Amino acid sequence: MVVTGVPTGGVRVGRWARPVVGVAAGVVSAVVEVASLVAAGLLLTLTVPAPVLRRRVLAAVLRYAPVAARWERRRLAWAANRPASAPLRATGRRAVGYLALRVVPGLLGALTVGVLAVGVVLAAVLLRAVVTGGVAVPDLLLQLVIGSGLLLVNLQAVASVGALDRHLARRMLEPDGEDALRRRIDELTESRAGVMAAVDAERRRIERDLHDGVQQRLVALGMLLGRARRSRDPDRARALLDQAHADVQWALDELREVAWQVYPSALDHSPLDEVLTMVARRTPIPVRISHALPDRPPRPVEAVLYFIACEAITNAAKHAGATVIDIEIRAGDGGVDMWVRDDGRGGADPAGSGLRGLARRAAALDGNLDVSSPPGGPTTIRVTLPCE
């Protein structure tokens, strides 16, 4: 059962709301982080006579500084409306140095957000004066022109503070060229091993499906034909042939399903949304598909999205007890993003063999797969694949 064209996204935050909220949150976090570092410095000074206690304090600082750095990276990604990336060098002393340097964007952010708050208060005073008739029309127009100009300057200052904060995070937390190359080599090595493991698992699954399904049915078909050939009763032989014909149809259907699991040939002639619609029609629970891609992605990308969506639909229908499944596919930052959501019981283990295999499929194309499935649901699978 399928319903297409259903919007599944939430309410979008305005263009300037994210930067302003992000900078304001950065001011609060900078105060907390600087205060924590000052307190840690005092503790380290006071514990100089006790080396064991001093080492424990230093270990705690070096352990929790990367946690704060990762939070800052997520905040900056949210404020810029971009996918969050893991801090690559946010460990130990470098993370501490980054948190200490955040006092600069913190102070600038406090200044810009404070000026914006003052402007909001003045706008409220002006609005009250307009309501009570205490402002003449020329004065009102002049105030509006001045206020609009100051607002634009203030918003630009907020954007500049956010850019400074992101630049500081990139310089302190991301690797340089050599580190990035080394990390890329490690990622490709790990991805290659994952792809080989996924291919082997896929081969074993296909062999199992052929052995337990098509092969067994063909063996039974051979036995039926043998009995029909040996039978001297024409009616009995005709009944056996009818049963053999039905088994042939079943065998063809199962063989077609296995072939689709190897590669969905329908993608050669139809776009992804139409192929998923065909899959949804065979699903016992409603599947709502929202497809908003301006151009058709490359064939390998479509194949990976197809396999992940089919596996997610199967899991939701068989194991999650879901009553509805939402699939949203839209253009992302240089690629394609797909969300598969269900309202089932949740509790899916991202480290399980099934979801790990889906993650390997995405990683084979330098993509990423994230799973959110708290106990009680809902379950959300997000796939991000590049198209470049």
Are 301 and 337 in contact, with CB atoms under 8 Å apart?
no
> Which residues lie below 8 Å from residue 22, measured CB to CB, with a gap of 6+?
75, 76, 78, 79, 80, 162
Record the tokens describing residue 118, joined without a space. Answer: 């003052």
Give the chain's mean pLDDT: 78
Q: What is the mean pLDDT of residues 311-340?
A: 85
Least confident of 105-109, 138-142, 194-198: 194-198
Confidence of residue 339 (pLDDT cuts 50, 70, 90): very high
Q: Tell me, what's the pLDDT at 11?
A: 39
Q: Is 124 helix (H, G, I), strand (E, B) or coil?
A: helix
> Is 70 exceeded by the pLDDT of residue 127?
yes
How far, in Å, are 216, 254, 304 from residue 251 at the CA level? 9, 5, 26
> Is 80 exceeded by the pLDDT of residue 323?
yes
Q: What is the mean pLDDT of residues 98-116?
A: 89
Q: Tell me, what's the pLDDT at 132?
A: 82
Per the model's pLDDT, the better-predicted residue between 27 and 242 turns out to be 27
Confidence of residue 156 (pLDDT cuts 50, 70, 90): confident
DSSP class per residue in 154-171:
HHHHHHHHHHHHHHHHHH
Q: Is 371 helix (H, G, I), strand (E, B) or coil?
A: strand
Q: Tell me, what's the pLDDT at 12?
A: 43
Confidence of residue 117 (pLDDT cuts 50, 70, 90): confident
Could you read off the pLDDT of 6-26 as tens digits, one per residue? Answer: 444 443 445 668 888 888 888
Confidence of residue 357 (pLDDT cuts 50, 70, 90): confident
Q: What is the DSSP letter of 367?
A: -
Q: Tell me, what's the pLDDT at 10?
A: 40
What's CA 273's distance to the chain center, in Å? 20
Q: What is the mean pLDDT of residues 340-350?
A: 85
How many percent of the chain have pLDDT more than 70? Answer: 78
Q: For the chain, give me the number of helices (H) and strands (E)?
A: 11, 6
> Is 50 exceeded by the pLDDT of residue 322?
yes
How far, in Å, are 213, 260, 268, 297, 308 from residue 265 at the CA level? 21, 7, 6, 16, 16
Q: What is the mean pLDDT of residues 91-102?
A: 83
Could you read off the pLDDT of 203-233 as tens digits, one per residue? Answer: 666 666 666 666 676 777 777 778 777 777 7
Residues 310, 303: Cα–Cα separation, whole Å: 11
Q: What is the largest CA-CA distance in the chain?
A: 111
Q: Tell me, what's the pLDDT at 187?
A: 60
How many percent of the chain have pLDDT more than 90? Answer: 3
Residues 161, 166: Cα–Cα separation, whole Å: 9
> Which residues lie below 8 Å from residue 94, measured CB to CB, with a gap of 6+?
172, 173
Least confident of 5-19, 40-54, 331-345, 360-374: 5-19
Are 76 and 165 in contact, with CB atoms under 8 Å apart?
yes
